[in-house]
A and B are shown apart, each in its own frame.
Chain A
Amino acid sequence: MYIRSKSRPAGRQMSTPIIRGLIVGLYTLYPVGCILQLLPESWGGGTALSVAGLIAVAASLIMFAVLAGSSLQRQAQEQESELDERERADRNKAAFYAHSVFSSVVLLGLIYIMLTTDMADAGKLDLWRPSTGDHWNAIFWGLGLLSVTLPGAVLAFGKAPPDMD
């Protein structure tokens, strides 16, 4: 998913540090924001933390909107016929790596939920696990964001593009 504009058909060119900063910001602020927003009162949560969480999630979504119009996100998501051979080769490598990371994250998450549910049912240890609609909503949109940005993130943390003359 990326935003194509008439004025910038090849996407917005951004420097490598900026694009890496946006990705780190997105991957940090979204989970932190969700945790703050959904923290129950018995665990120290409250209105102030909930508002702070909402602001963090909103900031992460703004970062995603900026990334969605970048040339890097275009390379990660554009149809093949619009890319040259080097862009396609780099994208294919990034997609393979992103797939491995994404499937590992999902698998580890499922293992965690399975283990914590088993332990809670056995009355051994009651660790946190998603239980409400809000929890699943946060996880669903988080995985959605991860799946559409991960190939671009892999490209961003690869070799820096050459300076243009």
Chain B
Amino acid sequence: MVHNRLSVFRAERNLSRKDLAEQVGVNPQTIGYLERGDYAPSVELALKLAALFDVPVEQLFSLKPFAPLAASLKNQES
């Protein structure tokens, strides 16, 4: 299974699923399926999304579950 932080990045940029879908050329429902973890994207789509958010692809997608955001922030502070 491929885990992702798509919803976090999308919320941070204040993008709707429709806006994001238009920018990477997919159906808005596909963004929903990705966020829900029901669909693993192709390399091409993963790279497009990473480029759009200007982050390395491994910050957006991972084979291991991402740590919760609150825990990550706490680790950074300590």
B interface majority secondary structure = helix
Could you name 14 residue pairs across A and B whose Cβ atoms are closer than 8 Å? A84-B25, A84-B26, A84-B30, A85-B41, A85-B42, A85-B45, A86-B26, A87-B27, A159-B33, A161-B29, A162-B36, A162-B38, A164-B28, A165-B16
Could you tell me the distance between the alpha carbons of A165 and B16 in the complex, rounded to whole angstroms?
A: 7
Could you tell me the distance between the alpha carbons of A163 and B78 in the complex, rounded to whole angstroms?
A: 38
B17 on interface, CB distance cutoff 8 Å = yes
Q: Which of A83, A86, A165 contacts B33 (CB 8 A)?
A: A86
Interface of B with A (CB < 8 Å)? 16-18, 25-30, 32-36, 38-39, 41-42, 44-45
CB A73 to nearest CB in B, in angstroms, measures 15
Are B32 and A84 in contact (CB-based, < 8 A)?
A: no
Residues of B within 8 A of A85 (CB): 26, 30, 41-42, 44-45
